Amino acid sequence: MTLLEFGCPPLPIANGKRAESDEPAVVNSHDLMAAFMLQAFRQQDADLNRSREERQRRAAEAYRRRLLQEEEDPYGAMSEYTRDYLASYLLPPYSVDDVHVLSAEHISPALLAEIRRYHDALCPEAAGVSELDLLLRGCRDVCVARFGVQ
């Protein structure tokens, strides 16, 4: 449930390099976050928890501000938020510089289009869509998927 409330789709995170090529090895941001959360739950350090929660709150506020600014690059906003949120779990000597969300040039156009749709669903006003239009579009999509009716 916590990952669903995160506010970003799973994004590709570079995790070193592949041995057979110079391409980055990739993990899913939600899988990495789940591992980080598990480690934080095991530690149960009140000071670290407060510090992490404050960093996450600041990252979420910055993310909301960027989403509402008719962001031309939703992938950039989501990447920065994911990076900052994941980094909130890291302990020194590790930092935000150790979290590498793949840049847009490494992402397929289909995935970037899905990310744009995700962004538009989060901020329909930024996409020029009213909430009623979004609701009606969602109802239509459910009817088509469930009953084959348009």
In a domain, 148, yes or no: no
28-86 pLDDT, tens digit each: 888 888 888 888 888 888 999 999 999 999 998 888 888 777 656 788 888 899 999 99
Question: Domain residues for 68?
Answer: 12-106
CA 120, 123, 126, 131 torsion-angle sign: positive
Q: Is residue 120 situated within a structural domain?
A: no
CA 38/CA 54 separation, integer angstroms: 19
75 domain residue, yes or no: yes
Local structure of 24: helix, strand or coil:
strand
pTM of the model as a whole: 0.71
Residue 52 lies in a domain: yes
Q: Report if residue 127 sits inside a domain.
A: no
Domain count, the chain: 1
